[in-house]
Chain A
């Protein structure tokens, strides 16, 4: 083998080795990414708004806030929605165009779509109040890894209460969760998160 040929062979081997190292690194990286990536939470859903089907993907804005509760919840639901309403009031008209809040009532047995829509509007005229059949609600709520349980309370005047996830979800245009506030009780924090994600 001539020195020239030996040089070419060495170069070829070095290049092959580098290529193999790159390939192995890429495969390992891909495997690690698959192993550690967070599952995508959220997605498209259809519920009822004032008696009509309301599909998220047809109404999605740049940033969408989602809260799950029920209108007869007198404590945390109205508090969260009033804080969110206050945060919205502090935004510019420009920001508000790219933003919406969706309140989903999981009390399909006792609340009508019209009641839920009217309830949500009281906190901000642009808030969207949705509900639906139990099947549609379960499907929608499940997308966000949220949950609710209707609990009978025969000793109480209302006769039931609903335990529900207490999180404010921030969704992108595809309905994917990009941020969350646990127990949202501060309009300052809601405003801050809106600005961070808008």
Chain B
């Protein structure tokens, strides 16, 4: 028992140091124009967009985990297929080093479900948690009216 505790005392500081180092280096993702449509009246769903830049020198696998004020958030892709606009869930997107990947209307985007109107309000910031190569990073998305979104598309 004493030996185990001693071992833990030796190992834990290194583990915390490693975790801290990893967290410090997680800003491998920079998102500009991070924005979410204000949900339409009576609707609990909406979409989010932004330009995701991989600032690191390694390929980045991006997954979305959580969004405050929503029951669920997913990555989706809209695409034209057989003359129709089709939308499907994707688990992750990959961004090459130094490249920018845009979430934009009619293409890849974030889908938010089950909006809590007391949190998701126009002008407010919504923290969205991403998984980047296994490390978490939170990015704030601004809730905006659709008219402003159009200008930024």
Contacts and interface: CB of A to CB of B under 8 A. Distances in A.
- Indicate the size class of the contact surface on chain A: 20 to 34
Nearest to B113: A157
Given A75-B76, A183-B106, A118 B42 contact: yes
A156 B84 contact: no
Q: Could you say which of A79, A118, A148, A155 has the most chain B C-beta atoms within 10 Å of its C-beta? A: A79
Interface string B24-40: 00000000000001001
Nearest to B110: A74
A82 B37 CA distance: 12
B69 interface: no
Nearest to A118: B42
Interface residues of B, number: 34
B106 A185 contact: yes
Contact of A158 (B82, B113, B150): B113
A82 B41 contact: no
Given A78-B146, A119-B40, A153 B45 contact: no
Interface string A143-162: 00001110101011110010
Contact of B71 (A71, A72, A82, A157): A157
Nearest to B86: A163
Nearest to A73: B87
A75 B113 contact: no
A72 B45 CA distance: 7
A82 B46 CA distance: 14
B146 A82 contact: yes
Contacts of B57: none
B89 interface: yes
A158 B111 CA distance: 10
A164 interface: yes
B42 to A, nearest CB: 6
Interface string B96-111: 0000000001100101
B72 interface: yes
B85 A79 contact: no
Contact of B47 (A74, A151, A161): A74
Contacts of A71: 40, 43
Q: Which 4 A-B pairs have the closest CB atoms?
A: A163-B86, A166-B85, A157-B72, A74-B47
Given A122-B40, A151-B88, A165-B84, 20 more contacts: A71-B40, A71-B43, A74-B45, A74-B47, A75-B106, A75-B109, A76-B78, A78-B146, A82-B146, A86-B147, A115-B42, A118-B42, A119-B40, A147-B83, A147-B84, A157-B72, A158-B111, A161-B86, A161-B87, A163-B82
14 contacts: A78-B146, A79-B146, A115-B42, A119-B42, A148-B84, A153-B89, A157-B71, A157-B111, A157-B114, A158-B45, A158-B111, A163-B87, A164-B84, A185-B105
